Structure 1
């Protein structure tokens, strides 16, 4: 299966249907089964102590899989997360964007499963790993 949306179409569509995150994320790469997305880390993403918060990392993982699913199935804004498991492995750098490398492991008619590895920009070791399942609305 090929991409239903280009990286520019995907960014435009997300801004249309999910404007509340427009200033949080940027796309670096989009391929048939891979997406690289970054969290543009700002003060609002930091928890006390100056590290990127867990909810911010979850948001990056969740939005990366959502974007990857949309890139493959097209404009289906009602695709929703049905499951998420995230492992926080080390403290992320507070002064660097977070990079999510997302791969779709399965894309079926009604479910998609994605895996996301998150690292601080400029560092090789992952700070978190997440697996998410999305429900895709049926065609009408």
Structure 2
């Protein structure tokens, strides 16, 4: 059972990280997991019509943050201490991005998670290859 459910996590993010909504919306959470969707719009595109790296990194970051909070509870000062992302292929033009995040390890001071980004509304469920993969480390305040 997650420490925070979907509604509690959405309420927490709205109060403590309202700017996070520009990076996507939470669709589901579980113990140490989170799925987010970014409705790609013109603000997320770079020249040539590709989704920008910063937009994908923001989605990945917030998705892992949400997955972490399902394990540690409402800790607003947990912060990213490392983000490594591999861009694997160009996302589909005009398609949503889906982030599928999970925590790999959660300790007292650090949480390590990974996230796969998929392009297209049902891409993650349809077995489509990811467009990016990221690993993140979060520092958890004492």
Scaled to the shorter chain, the TM-score interval is over 0.9
TM-score calculated relative to the size of structure 1: 0.93
Check whether the contact 2:68–2:111 (CA below 8 A) recurs between aligned residues.
Answer: yes
User: Aligned runs of 1:54-133 on 2, under 5 Å?
Assistant: 54-121=53-120, 122-123=122-123, 124-133=128-137
Q: Assess, with a 3 A threshold, how the Cα gap between structure 1 residues 23 and 84 changes in structure 2: closer, same or farther.
A: closer
TM-score calculated relative to the size of structure 2: 0.91
Unpaired segments ≥5 residues, structure 2: none
Deviations 1:31-86 (A, max 9, x none): 11321111121110001111100000000111111111112111110000111110
CA RMSD across the alignment: 1.2
Runs (4+) of structure 1 exceeding 6 A deviation are none
- Count of paired positions: 137
Unpaired segments ≥5 residues, structure 1: none
